[in-house]
Structure 1
Amino acid sequence: MSGPPLLKVTGLRKAYGERVVLDDVDLTVDPHDVICLIGSSGSGKSTLLRCLDLLEEIDDGVIELEGREISDPRIDQRAVRQRMGMVFQAYNLFPHLSVLDNVTLAPRRVHGVPRADAEEQARELLGRFGLADQAEKHPDRLSGGQQQRAALVRALATKPALLLLDEITAALDPELVGEVLTIVRDLAASGTTMLLATHEMEFARDVATRVCFLDGGRILESGPPAQVFTEPREERTRQFLRRILG
């Protein structure tokens, strides 16, 4: 794709004491990419996403978003997070707020959008995600699938340039996984740029523009889904896929 990448990661390293979690990670994300991070639990997928969202301090390397270095400790982290939306596997909705207030909080507090405008935009989004009739409820009145959809709406309400999704189906009952993945498929089809950690291999194969296999804190293999899933270059990738896919 021509033009600069939306996100560029160079030589990213993160350790907790003696335990290295991310080791010399390089990654680029172009506009409209849907990049799926796959790998065993503990391979570094979630930590990578948390580093990109500046929730974790990195030990070395450079992270650039829209051509600007955001790994500089002097950066305005709030301004960075205005350009990225992150959705966690545990939803992280504020339990004391209604769904509508959860969705409008960041647009009003961070972006200065008037309440009436924020609520109008939020209700339109909630309607798109099948949650129009849930706007006034608190999160504990929703199913897991509804809570995860509400978390997606909250992330999208700030109109981020990049959406980070961290194992967003991992905490869901199996029958609810499909409804959340359908939403993500629709987002991908509409051109939303996404970087997501997932254990849903069929979804990654169908939707991703690129798949990155992480092992031991490194991106061991990266390529189009057809190549990674059918002709992986690395033996470790083949072992992982055999175990996951059978």
Structure 2
Amino acid sequence: MTTPVIEVRGLRKTYGDRVVLDDVSLSVEAGDVVCLIGSSGSGKSTLLRCLDLLEEIDDGVIGFDGREISDPLVDPREVRRSIGMVFQAYNLFPHLSVLANCTLAPRKVHGLGKAEAEARARELLERFGLGEHVEQHPDRLSGGQQQRAALVRALFTSPRLLLLDEITAALDPELVGEVLDIVRELAHGGTTMVLATHEMAFAREVATKVCFLDGGRIIESGPPEQVLVAPEQPRTREFLRRVLPQ
């Protein structure tokens, strides 16, 4: 038996009196692509933020490569060196060029030299169609280009785990495809990912596991052909009827 990359047991997260995640358990193996689906407010984004230690949990355990990272004594910054996260709103630094955005953390956090960091960043940016934009600032790029730059920044250090939070939600429909193409390429290349998405067709294509969240709980999980095509739970069927074309 191999050790899961991520092992979540009994995770609970509240904001005041509001329960956002309730007894969530999840196992992610190396090479898995786990798609979190559910309505807005179901807990998808909060779960991703808990996995990246951006949120403190109230109960439960989060394990990463066999190590309990939810222990308060664990340094989140050290853990995040092995985890890449891409947000819905890009979160690029507006005052820095695309190149500087991608090399800032590798230089400041990982101690990479400027020349080596920039060479690696240029290689990745070229691979993802941004080679001509390395010196531009984010506001000069389209939404799809900004999201691709955010993906490059997250991938720079070859993270053990990639977390993607609704990365196409803020994009115009014609830009969604170019970002999903990159995620598809990463999935086929064996990158371990957990992503929250509203793109059901994409989830059916790339996911190894789909988890449907409702009211902060995982109501149903399994292979995409089961959860998205023949769901067992009435609540899952109701959700899919609303979001899938008839």
Query: Which TM bucket (shorter chain)?
Result: over 0.9
Q: How many residues align?
A: 245
2:109 is aligned with 1:110: yes
Equivalent-residue separation in structure 2 for 1:121 and 1:9 (angstroms):
33
**2:180 aligned partner:** 181
Cα distance, 1:97 vs structure 2: 0.5
Q: Alpha-carbon deviations, 1:11-53, whole Å to 9, x = none? A: 0000111110000000011000000000000000000001111
User: Residue 89 of structure 1 aligns to a residue in which SS?
Assistant: coil
Equivalent-residue separation in structure 2 for 1:63 and 1:79 (angstroms):
15
**2:237 aligned partner:** 238
Is the Cα contact below 8 Å between 1:106 and 1:158 reproduced in 2? no
Q: Alpha-carbon deviations, 1:153-198, whole Å to 9, x = none? A: 0000121100000000000000000000001000001111100000
**1:13 aligned partner:** 12
2:30 is aligned with 1:26: no
**2:194 aligned partner:** 195
Write the letter of the residue equivalent to 1:162. L
2:230 is aligned with 1:226: no
Where in structure 2 are the equivalents of 1:1-246 lying within 5 Å?
2-245=1-244, 246=246
Equivalent-residue separation in structure 2 for 1:82 and 1:159 (angstroms):
10
Equivalent-residue separation in structure 2 for 1:45 and 1:182 (angstroms):
22
Let me know the Cα RMSD of the aligned residues. Answer: 0.6
Equivalent-residue separation in structure 2 for 1:124 and 1:71 (angstroms):
35
Q: TM-score, normalised by structure 2?
A: 0.99
Equivalent-residue separation in structure 2 for 1:73 and 1:60 (angstroms):
12
Cα distance, 1:74 vs structure 2: 1.2
Q: TM-score, normalised by structure 1?
A: 0.99
User: Residue 35 of structure 1 aligns to a residue in which SS?
Assistant: strand
Equivalent-residue separation in structure 1 for 2:144 and 2:228 (angstroms):
28
Q: Alpha-carbon deviations, 1:44-63, whole Å to 9, x = none? A: 00000011111111100100
Equivalent-residue separation in structure 1 for 2:66 and 2:122 (angstroms):
33
User: Residue 230 of structure 1 aligns to a residue in which SS?
Assistant: coil
Equivalent-residue separation in structure 2 for 1:231 and 1:133 (angstroms):
45
Write the letter of the residue equivalent to 1:172. L
Write the letter of the residue equivalent to 1:77. P
- Determine what percentage of the aligned residue pairs are the same residue: 75
Cα distance, 1:96 vs structure 2: 0.6
Cα distance, 1:73 vs structure 2: 1.1
Equivalent-residue separation in structure 1 for 2:75 and 2:19 (angstroms):
27
Name stretches of at least 5 consecutive residues in structure 2 with no aligned partner: none
Q: Alpha-carbon deviations, 1:91-117, whole Å to 9, x = none? A: 000001100000001111111111111
Write the letter of the residue equivalent to 2:228. F
